[in-house]
Structure 1
Amino acid sequence: MKGYNKILWIDGFSAAIAGTLTLILHQFLVTIYGLPKSIILLIAIVNLIYAIYALFLAQNKTRSLLAVTTLVMGNSLWAICCMLIVKTHFTDMTNIGLLVIIAESIYVTGLAFFEWKWRHKLTKHLT
């Protein structure tokens, strides 16, 4: 597997792990992050839906440019959503919550950057 193809697996598995752990630990994270339960559950659900899509693309032998661009746009939109969560809930969030949500925004921005950079390589037929 070429190095650039690993980005989709990394993206998918990291979203699946984050979503699953957030869902399992949501009551605990409400306190740790200082966010409402509805926001914690939203974060879990978005990560799990995103994981399904990213892993679907990762295992496909062919991918369209539109499919990869959709993935990039999803990461970019989620980065913005994370920062909106911080902006909206800043006064209630704990330092740990701020750190984790800002880190997630930076992480998905990095994924979007590399997926966009390698979009044409990611859409070539894989053997």
Structure 2
Amino acid sequence: MYSLARLKKLLWFDAIAATVAATGIFFLKDLMQPYLGLPSALLSGMGFTALVFALYGFHLLMRKITSKRWIQILIYGNATYAIFCLVLSLYFLFKIPWIGIVYLWIDTAIVETLSYIEWKTTKHFF
């Protein structure tokens, strides 16, 4: 059930999702910012972070040998980013529109779920 093929699929999903997130933020930032209420610089930082995750995910996919340590870096990075988004949602809880809070919660849920699934797969694979 837990195989290299499943791990590769997760890495592809992670890299593509991060690419879509970064692209969406960069192209729609000016449109989204008034509705989300988040500072433009913060959205840019989140987009840049998603781009770094995308590049790292594609880097992992291009490597011939998959190392547990390299994948753990991605997992811990995802978990840290999810915690960061959750902390941001608490910081901005009464300062921005509810849609901005929901955006941060959805971002948290997606990234943390992906981190958890990757962790479980890696735990059984290595």
TM-score by length of 2: 0.89
What percentage of aligned pairs have identical amino acids?
Answer: 24
User: What RMSD, in angstroms, separates the aligned Cα atoms of the two structures?
Assistant: 1.7
Q: Which amino acid aligns with 2:120?
A: K
Matched, 1:24 2:40: no
Structure 1: 5+ residue stretches without partners: none
Identify the residue that residue 11 of structure 2 maps to in structure 1.
8
Give the letter aligned to residue 65 of structure 2: T
Measured in 2, the distance between the counterparts of 1:117 and 1:40 equals: 30
SS in structure 1 of the partner of residue 99 of structure 2: helix
Hey, what does 1:72 align to over in structure 2? Answer: 75
Where in structure 2 are there 5+ consecutive unaligned residues? Answer: none
State the secondary structure of the residue aligned to 2:58: helix
Displacement over 4 Å in runs of 4+:
120-123
TM-score scaled by structure 1?
0.88
1:39 aligns with 2:45: no
* 2: CA distance, partners of 1:56 / 1:32: 34
Task: Give the whole-Å Cα distance in 1 for the aligned partners of 2:7 and 2:92.
Answer: 36
In the other structure, the counterpart of 1:85 is 88
Are the counterparts in 1 of residues 7 and 122 from structure 2 also a CA contact under 8 Å?
no
8 Å contact kept, 1:63–1:122: no
